[in-house]
């Protein structure tokens, strides 16, 4: 199989969301004069992940997620806060975070040298994702950047990929590869759109689900070796 269009997930694939989230949360909680920051983080992170899973499953809307998560966080500790205001402050801090995984730049440089066309395909809020891409120095690698908020659709919805296909000139799904860390978003979405998928699985997690990627790798070298060999 010869690919031309590489659709890259961002968070947990190229961008280090964990590092970005930690800094942004610290800045927000310090601004709110929280004394036990670690306790707040310990509650917020799994709660937030659960909300994103509900969003992927269509159980809540993006607005519900964004506007409720910080109000829920502070309510857990007995405080009533304006969730919308806190969301704006958090988004401000998060949009400034450009942490990438080691060798992300080298991977993208190498793929461009091999002649691949690179695109970002990410769920998230547009100001945050565009701000982080700019801060990371990765934005210039991508021919175009597709963000769920701007497409009014999100992974794993088939519509997300259909809209991308319309925006890429002469797009051929048989020559496209979706690369990402999430089975339920990236891989399931690519499967629904009949696009081949590459599961980036650095933790070597077992896949007990019915979602099957075309390829599975554990590091960037394996991505590069695979795509070099497929040319």
pLDDT tens-digit map of 61-108: 888 998 899 999 999 999 999 999 999 999 999 999 999 999 999 999
Same domain for 71 and 160? Answer: no
Statement to judge: residues 154 and 207 lie in one domain: yes
What average pLDDT does the segment 199-215 reach?
96
Q: Percentage of the chain surpassing pLDDT 90?
A: 92
Instruction: Count how many domains the chain has.
Output: 2
Domain ranges, residue 183: 5-16+100-229
Arithmetic mean of pLDDT, 216-227: 98
What CATH number is attached to the domain comprising 29? 1.10.150.240
Among candidate residues 61, 94, 127, the one where a domain is terminated: 94
CATH code at position 171:
3.40.50.1000
Whether residues 132 and 222 fall in one domain: yes
Q: What angle do CA 227, 125, 73 make, to 5 degrees?
A: 115
For residue 165, name the pLDDT band (cuts at 50, 70, 90).
very high
Model confidence at 28: pLDDT above 80 = yes
Question: Taking residues 174-190, what's their average pLDDT?
Answer: 97
The domain boundary residue, chosen from 94, 118, 142: 94
Same domain, 106 and 216: yes
Length of the chain: 231
Do 7 and 176 contact (CB within 8 A), yes or no? yes
Please indicate whether residue 112 or residue 1 has the higher confidence score (pLDDT): 112
User: Are 59 and 166 contained in the same domain?
Assistant: no
| Angstrom distance (rounded) from CA 17 to CA 92 | 15
> Do 187 and 211 meet the contact criterion of CB atoms below 8 Å apart?
yes
Both tokens of 61, joined, read 């809307």
Per-residue pLDDT at 63: 87
Select from 59, 25, 31 the least CA-distant residue to 43: 25
Cα of 103 vs its chain's centroid, Å: 18
Based on the domain organization, do 218 and 190 belong to the same domain?
A: yes
Which pLDDT value is given to residue 58? 86
Which strands make up the sheet holding 196-200, listed edge to edge? Answer: 144-147, 117-122, 5-8, 176-180, 196-200, 215-217
Q: State the distance between the two ends of the chain, measured CA to CA, in whole angstroms.
A: 8
Q: Tell me: do 191 and 106 sit in the same domain.
A: yes
Are both 63 and 154 inside the same structural domain? Answer: no
Average pLDDT, the chain: 96
Identify whether residues 209 and 146 lie together within a single domain: yes
Same domain, 79 and 159: no
Last residue of a domain, one of 37, 64, 94: 94
Mean pLDDT calculated for residue range 17-39: 97
pTM equals 0.90
Residue 62, pLDDT score: 82
pLDDT over 70 at 1, yes or no: no
> Catalytic residues, which ones?
9, 11
């Amino acid at each position: 199989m010869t690919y031309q269009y590489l659709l890259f997930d961002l968070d947990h694939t190229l961008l280090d969301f964990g590092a970005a989230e930690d800094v942004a949360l610290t800045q927000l909680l310090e601004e709110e004069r929280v004394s036990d920051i670690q306790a707040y983080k310990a509650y917020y992170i799994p709660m937030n992940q659960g909300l994103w899973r509900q969003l992927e499953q269509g159980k809540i809307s993006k607005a519900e997620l964004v506007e409720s998560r910080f109000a829920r966080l502070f309510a857990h500790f007995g405080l009533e806060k304006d969730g919308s205001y806190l969301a704006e402050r958090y988004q401000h801090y998060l949009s400034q975070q450009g942490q990438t995984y080691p060798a992300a730049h080298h991977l993208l440089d190498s793929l461009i040298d091999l002649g691949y066309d690179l695109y970002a395909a990410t769920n998230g809020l547009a100001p945050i994702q565009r701000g982080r891409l700019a801060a990371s120095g990765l934005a210039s690698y991508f021919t175009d950047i597709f963000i769920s908020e701007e497409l009014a659709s999100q992974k794993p919805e088939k519509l997300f990929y259909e809209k991308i296909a319309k925006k890429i000139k002469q797009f051929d799904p048989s020559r496209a590869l979706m690369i990402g860390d999430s089975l339920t978003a990236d891989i399931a979405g690519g499967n629904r759109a009949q696009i081949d998928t590459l599961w980036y699985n650095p933790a070597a997690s077992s896949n007990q689900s019915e979602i099957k990627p075309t390829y599975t790798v554990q590091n960037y070298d394996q991505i590069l070796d695979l795509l070099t060999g497929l040319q």
